[in-house]
Amino acid sequence: MTLRLVVATANPDKAREIEAVLRDSGLDVDLVARPDEVPEGEETGATLEENARLKAEALRDATGLAALARSEEHTSELQSHSDLVCRLLL
């Protein structure tokens, strides 16, 4: 079964990086880019994780799809799923 997710990033490199990590973990995923008409979302949280949650919630609500947001913006390259700190909202 394929898990269809919308990614809360406008950065195609981050989206590809997330997709690779998920696929390497054995997940069958179909990542959908954030629609252009859906704003990226406000970063009003106190932490990177809170901001990821806020972005994912807004995207989930706008698209009706499960949403994934990467919360660690300072990781230059993800090596494995354990390096991917993310928030998945169904």
Q: Is it the case that residue 57 has pLDDT exceeding 50?
A: yes
Q: Is residue 65 scored above 80 in pLDDT?
A: yes
What is the share, in percent, of the chain residues with pLDDT greater than 70?
78
Quote the pTM value.
Answer: 0.70
What is the rounded CA–CA span in Å between residue 47 and residue 81?
21
Q: Residue 38 is inside which H or E element, if any?
A: none
Q: What is the pLDDT of residues 16-51, one digit of tens each?
A: 877 887 888 788 888 888 888 888 778 898 887 788
pLDDT at residue 85 is higher than 70: no
**Higher-confidence residue: 73 or 68?**
68
